[in-house]
Chain A
Amino acid sequence: MSRLIPFFGFLLLVALFGFGIWWNTQHDQREVPSPLINKPAPAYALPKLDDPAQTVSRASMLGKPYLINVFASWCIACGEEHPILMSEAQRIGVPLIGYNYKDEPDDAKAWLARHGNPYSLIIADREGRTAIDFGVYGAPESFLVDAKGVIRYKRIGPLTPEVIEKELKPAIAVLAKEAP
């Protein structure tokens, strides 16, 4: 029997590799789940893109849920995502906050002027310093923050109609039920 041990060990390996192939058709290897889910959003305070004198902070946003969408004019996948945001922003039921990531304000404004502005409010993180607190490592990324300022859901990569239907809207529905 002991002669069969290598064979059974190998079967385990084959099972693992089979799993690996399947898993990689379902997941993006570069996707690293955020440890911030169900934790309070980091205490940010960032200027508005169109009016840098005004600051938006975690505290000032408390009270109702919102969706932060990280974008930049240099980000190609953001351009792919943009038309979907343009059509869905009004329908998702929470305000869509633009988070302009490591961008020149003029570039960002020109980009929005060209492609349209789906955001109800845009904050700018030119240095990307606050983005580190959010664990942003690529754009686009989206964070759903609830009324108490807790991150409830994160999407890494573009929001697609499918993701919005299957992941984002159910997550928002949960928030809606919690609301007093």
Chain B
Amino acid sequence: MTQPRGVLHRMRAAFLLLLLSTSLFAQAIDPLPFKSHAEEVRFQELTRQLRCLVCQNENLADSNADLARDLRHEVFQLMQSGRSDEEIKQYLVDRYSKFVLYDPPVERSTLLLWFGPLLILLTGAGVVIATVRKRTRNNPVPASANNGANDEGDDW
């Protein structure tokens, strides 16, 4: 797969790029005729959530790849034709698969991803609660312990 590579992948392909740069490098800096600032902000936010397929760890907004520019323009056109963000995402997913979504939808294949942290949190919270209860129940704290007296030393 020869393809325009991202700005950061040049080290290995330095020589190759000499040949590629003219026809393949577009610019991420890409003024588009937005109707309003709100529309521009919406475009920026949307393209930041979409992954460039060529230079795989960049989003569409930041990528210099030629394909990224084409897709930015496509997104822009779709916005002009009144499609919602969800419709535009679906449009790209239909063509390039869910891989383009930096914000993976909650579905069967991503249950672990989205609810795994919650599971870990609940387990951890259980351990913390058990620890605190055990330590408070078995060991009544003397009422006078550690209050103010040695505030300046080790025990502040």
Contact = CB atoms under 8 A, between A and B. Distances in A.
Chains A and B in contact, CB within 8 Å: yes
Interface of A: 28-36, 74-78, 102, 128-129, 132-135, 137-140, 156-158
Interface of B: 1-3, 16, 19-20, 23-24, 53-54, 56, 66-67, 70-71, 74, 93-97, 99
A99 B113 CA distance: 39
B12 to A, nearest CB: 13
Given A32-B53, A128-B70, A132-B70, A77 B1 contact: yes
A162 B23 CA distance: 31
B71 A138 contact: no
A74 B2 CA distance: 9
A128 B96 CA distance: 15
A135 B96 contact: yes
B10 to A, nearest CB: 15
Secondary structure call for the A interface:
loop
Contacts of B23: 74
Nearest to B67: A137
Nearest to A74: B23
Given A74-B20, A74-B24, A102-B66, A139 B2 contact: yes
Contacts of A35: 93-97
A46 B54 CA distance: 24
A77 B2 contact: yes
A128 B2 CA distance: 16
